[in-house]
Amino acid sequence: MTSPSPSVVVFGSLHYDIMVQGPARPRKGETVTGDSWHPKCGGKGGNQAVSAAKTGIRSVMVGAVANDDFGHALTENLARNNVDHRFVKTVSGVGSGMSVAIFDSEGDYGAVIVSGSNLTLGEPDVDAASEAFAEGAVLLLQNEVPDHANVAAAKAMKSVGGSVILNAAPARSLSPELEGLVDVLVVNAIEAEQLAALTVLDTLTGAEEAAKLLAARFPTVVVTAGGEGVACATAPGEAFSMEAIEVKLVSTHGAGDEFTGVLAAELARARDIRSALDAANRAAAVLVSTPRAG
């Protein structure tokens, strides 16, 4: 009897995104006239599950939506992108998660999220998805669901011998229990600043220094530095960086999720960290330089 192929289990958020394009992001009290808007299925969890699936690996989503138009669109998007969504529950009494992202003329953005159904995730959902955890090689977590839910999911993956990747975004304090379960931490400069309690320059040198500092708390740390590249450090003391691939920027939206989803897929295939980061770096470069279809 053959064993199942390796898979990535994504435990996390699903948001229906409203994307607004304008000349600039508004300052406090300012109204800006936008150029256009469009909807997009997202949430860090959903984005990362889709990005992992695009590499050809089996990707399983564990999450929550409401019985509303947003929820239906989110589950349909997972199915359309070959993500196993059997363990995405439908809840009542609260709406599906959503966000509004405002882009400026340079392709950068700011966003507001309303978590909604994502905040209902907890240990019962981990138990309900025990089959997925038993077959998974890597668990991918983010900070858009409750910390206690992430702890339950990480414990489940550890109990079957899998590894845990935490994309600690958006930035927030982590419980000591969750920290102790993480094998690979993925953060950007802002998130690294909060976790490391120091100013992290958005340069490769700054990212590498932050990664080295955080490697005292996590076995492997990846710090992304936007258009500069990515740095990595491990608890045994190895540290290195990779420059970003030079491309014409269209939009940075989703770049971090694309990077993290591909990284998880490559690590699930038992690639070494350098090879996995190289693949993730390339995938993010393609995404930020690709115009939106439609």
pLDDT tens for each residue of the chain, 294 residues long: 444 678 999 999 999 999 999 999 888 899 999 999 999 999 999 999 999 999 999 999 999 999 999 999 999 999 999 999 999 999 999 999 999 989 888 877 788 889 999 999 999 999 999 999 999 999 999 999 999 999 999 999 999 999 999 999 998 999 999 999 999 999 998 899 889 877 777 788 888 999 999 999 999 999 998 778 899 999 888 999 988 777 665 555 668 899 999 999 999 999 999 999 999 998 888 876 676 643
Residue 206: which of 223, 227, 191, 181 has the closest Cα?
223
Range of the domain at 109: 7-26+33-182+245-288
Task: Tell me the sheet residues that pair with 7.
Answer: 58
Q: Is residue 214 part of a domain?
A: no
- Residue 37 resides in a domain: yes
Query: Nearest Cα to 276, choosing from 240, 228, 225, 249?
Result: 240
Phi and psi at residue 220, to the nearest 5°: -135, 135
pLDDT of residue 226: 79
Residue 2: its pLDDT value, please?
A: 45
Comparing CA positions, the residue from 118, 153, 120, 123 lying closest to residue 138 is 153
Answer whether residue 206 is part of any domain.
no
Domain contains 258: yes
Give a yes or no: residue 194 inside a domain: no
Token pair for 281 = 């770096």
Residue 119: give its domain's CATH number.
3.40.1190.20
Q: Provide the pLDDT for residue 253.
A: 61
Q: Which has the closest alpha carbon to 281: 237, 245, 227? A: 245
**Is residue 227 situated within a structural domain?**
no
In a domain, 117, yes or no: yes
Count of domains for the chain: 1
Q: What is the pTM of this model?
A: 0.91
Residue 202 lies in a domain: no
Q: How far apart are the first and last CA of the chain?
A: 45
